């Protein structure tokens, strides 16, 4: 059979980071090993029952069996604006400042294609979510990295970004609460970001995927809560983490009107919006009682406390995460991120993500997802303890 060559566009794409991890885990599972998989960011709990019931009812409605409006139903855009007003006291125009997305990943990839030309520059956090690179590669653009260090609370230090890069950059990606470091950002940082972006005419894309997951009574800050943020950027919010709706693939971008218009334009050529019943259920999730979302935060905070407490008991001294459902762990001396991840998988049968998969500055760390029940998290630490790696 004849093999057809890939396009240059496909050849530019980076290697899919999680594919090799999934392959390693599945290979050991096929051999009969019990693997505690804490390496991915896939929520382990079901979508709240009241949202599922809304979908069931809506799916039976013939109105939703037709094509949805190209840019989504107005009721979902209105629900997004109501949610942002309720949660963050941010006013949005549902017609011009909201774009419905096929999951946050889609928006984060296509926004580069909306705003970048070949050779243009985008600023990226390092470490950061790998798929930011995918959209930049598809646009044939370039990147400059903003290292995230613990001494700066895993926030980029704009004073250390070269003036040349700031002058050339057209796009900047940020993500707080942060994947993979679990760091959070405050209003002061976002105010500074708005100032820098305005000075250098940079569009900011804030990935707010973990916006609901703040701990110790601290509510994560929305980028749009900073004055002038809508002038220079957008925020992308997903229902995947807030309501355990990862498989539903529903999210939205909010903010700058011109960016929202561009997102809608590219999607007009690629999609005919989400299944209407999913949009109906998503609108209900955003506007009705938020008790289930609040209870989920409590579940992750309890898991965090148990897991981190057990790690400290075996001598692994770490800082407690402030947000997300991840724990960012320094590896013991003498190991690289890959070496230590492989050791845990092959000898303790605990799967984690090596930090260097998120960027060069992630070397020396691993990322653990709090995405199994408490007993399994305790068992994971007990398995690690049996390796006698810590004093």
* Residue pLDDT, tens place only, 272-325: 899 999 999 999 999 999 999 999 999 999 999 999 999 999 999 899 999 999
* Assigned domain for 141 exists: yes
Paired with 350 in beta bridges are 36
Distance CA 167, CA 33 (A): 52
Residues 110, 175, single domain; the answer is: yes
The answer to whether residue 16 scores a pLDDT higher than 80 is no
Give the predicted TM-score (pTM) of the model.
0.96
Confidence (pLDDT) at 151: 96
User: Residue 37 corresponds to which tokens in the numbers above?
Assistant: 């998989």
User: Residue 129 corresponds to which tokens in the numbers above?
Assistant: 């979510």
The answer to whether residue 362 scores a pLDDT higher than 90 is yes
- Provide CB contacts within 8 A for 89, sequence distance 6+: 225
Residues 144, 270, single domain; the answer is: yes
Domain boundary among 231, 264, 287: 287
Is there a contact between 340 and 354 (Cβ–Cβ < 8 Å)?
A: yes
Q: How many domains does the chain have?
A: 2
Residues 198, 73, single domain; the answer is: yes
Distance CA 61, CA 75 (A): 16
340 CB burial (10 A radius; 0-12, 13-18, 19+): buried
Residues 73, 190, single domain; the answer is: yes
Residues 183, 276, single domain; the answer is: yes
Percent pLDDT > 90 in the chain is 91
What are the Cα distances from residue 331, in Å, to 10, 35, 169, 225, 340?
34, 20, 34, 36, 7
Confidence (pLDDT) at 14: 85
Is there a contact between 327 and 370 (Cβ–Cβ < 8 Å)?
A: yes
Q: Domain range for residue 119?
A: 49-287
Confidence (pLDDT) at 25: 87
Distance CA 54, CA 67 (A): 19
* Assigned domain for 203 exists: yes
What are the Cα distances from residue 326, in Å, to 81, 114, 147?
28, 30, 19
User: The CATH number of the domain where 353 resides is what?
Assistant: 3.90.1150.10
* Assigned domain for 27 exists: yes
Domain boundary among 287, 312, 333: 287
Q: What angle do CA 254, 260, 265 make, to 5 degrees?
A: 145
Domain boundary among 259, 287, 315: 287
The answer to whether residue 391 scores a pLDDT higher than 80 is no
* Residue pLDDT, tens place only, 220-256: 999 999 999 999 999 999 999 999 999 999 999 999 9
Residues 219, 119, single domain; the answer is: yes
Residues 231, 300, single domain; the answer is: no
Please report, to the nearest 10 degrees, the dihedral formed by the alpha carbons of residues 251, 253, 254, 258 taken in order: -160
Across residues 35-57, what is the average pLDDT?
95
* Assigned domain for 3 exists: no
Sign of CA dihedral 179, 185, 191, 192: negative
* Assigned domain for 1 exists: no
Confidence (pLDDT) at 215: 97
Confidence (pLDDT) at 71: 94
User: Residue 130 corresponds to which tokens in the numbers above?
Assistant: 């790998």
């Amino acid at each position: 059979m004849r093999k057809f060559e890939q396009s240059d566009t496909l050849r530019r794409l980076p290697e899919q980071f999680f594919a090799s991890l999934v392959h390693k885990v599945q290979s050991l599972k096929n051999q009969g090993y019990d693997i505690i998989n804490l390496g991915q960011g896939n929520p382990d709990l079901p979508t709240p029952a009241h949202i599922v019931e809304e979908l069931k009812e809506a799916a039976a409605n013939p109105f939703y069996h037709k094509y949805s409006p190209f840019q989504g139903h107005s009721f979902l855009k209105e629900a997004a604006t109501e949610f942002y007003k309720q949660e963050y006291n941010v006013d949005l125009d549902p017609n011009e400042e909201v774009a419905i997305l096929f999951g946050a990943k889609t928006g984060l990839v296509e926004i580069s294609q909306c705003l970048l030309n070949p050779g243009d520059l985008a600023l990226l956090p390092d470490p950061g979510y790998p798929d930011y690179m995918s959209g930049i590669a598809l646009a044939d653009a370039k990147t400059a990295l903003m290292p995230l260090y613990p001494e700066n609370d895993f926030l980029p230090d704009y004073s250390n970004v070269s003036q040349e890069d700031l002058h050339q950059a057209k796009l900047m990606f940020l993500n707080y609460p942060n994947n993979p470091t679990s760091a959070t950002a405050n209003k002061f940082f976002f105010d500074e970001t708005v100032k820098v972006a305005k000075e250098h005419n940079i569009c900011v894309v804030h990935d707010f995927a973990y916006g609901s997951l703040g701990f110790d009574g601290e509510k994560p800050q929305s980028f749009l809560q900073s004055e002038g943020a809508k002038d220079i950027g957008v925020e992308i919010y997903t229902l995947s983490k807030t309501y355990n709706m990862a498989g539903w693939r529903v999210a939205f971008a909010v903010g700058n009107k011109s960016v929202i218009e561009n997102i809608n334009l590219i999607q007009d050529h690629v999609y005919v919006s989400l299944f209407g019943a999913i949009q109906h259920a998503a609108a209900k999730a955003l506007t009705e009682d938020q008790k289930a979302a609040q209870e989920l935060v409590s579940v992750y905070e309890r898991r965090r406390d148990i897991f981190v407490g057990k790690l400290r008991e075996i001598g692994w001294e770490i800082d407690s995460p402030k947000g997300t459902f991840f724990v960012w762990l320094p590896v013991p001396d003498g190991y690289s991120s890959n070496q230590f991840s492989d050791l845990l998988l092959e000898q303790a049968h605990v799967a984690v993500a090596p930090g260097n998969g998120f960027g060069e500055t992630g070397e020396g760390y691993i990322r653990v997802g709090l995405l199994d029940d408490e007993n399994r998290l305790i068992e994971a630490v007990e398995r690690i303890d049996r390796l006698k790696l810590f004093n």
